Structure 1
Amino acid sequence: MSEVKKIATRESYGNALAELGAQNPNIVVLDADLAGATKTGIFKKAFPERHIDCGIAEGNMMGVAAGLATCGKIPFASSFAMFAAGRAFEQIRNSIGYPHLNVKIGATHAGISVGEDGATHQCNEDIAIMRTIPGMTIICPADDVEARAAVKAAAEYVGPVYMRFGRLAVPVINDEANYKFEIGKGITLKEGKDVTIIATGLEVNESLEAAKLLEADGISAEVINIHTIKPLDKELVVASAKKTGKVVTVEEHSVIGGLGGAVAEALSEEAPTKMLRIGMMDKFGQSGPAKALIEYYGLDGKSIYEKVKAFL
Structure 2
Amino acid sequence: MLSYIIKRTLTAVLLSVAVASIVFLALFLVPGDPAEVLLSTGGVEPPAEAVRALRVELGLDQPVLWQYFSFLGDLLKGDLGQSFSNGEAVLSTILVRLPRTLELIFAATVVSLIVGIPSGMIAAMRQGETIDRVLSFAASIAMSLPIFVIGTAMVYVFAQKFRLVPAGGYVAFSQDPAQHLLLLLMPAIAISIGFSATIFRMSRATVAAVLTKDWVRTARSKGISERQVMIWHIVRNALGPVATVVGLQMGNLLGGSVLVEYVFNWPGLSGYLVTAIENRDYPGVRGTVLIVATLFILINLVVDMIYMILDPRVRS
- Which of the pair is proportionally richer in helix? 2
* TM-score, scaled relative to structure 2: 0.22
* TM-score, scaled relative to structure 1: 0.22
- Which of the pair is proportionally richer in strand? 1
If you compute each CA radius of gyration, which structure gives the higher value, 1 or 2? 2
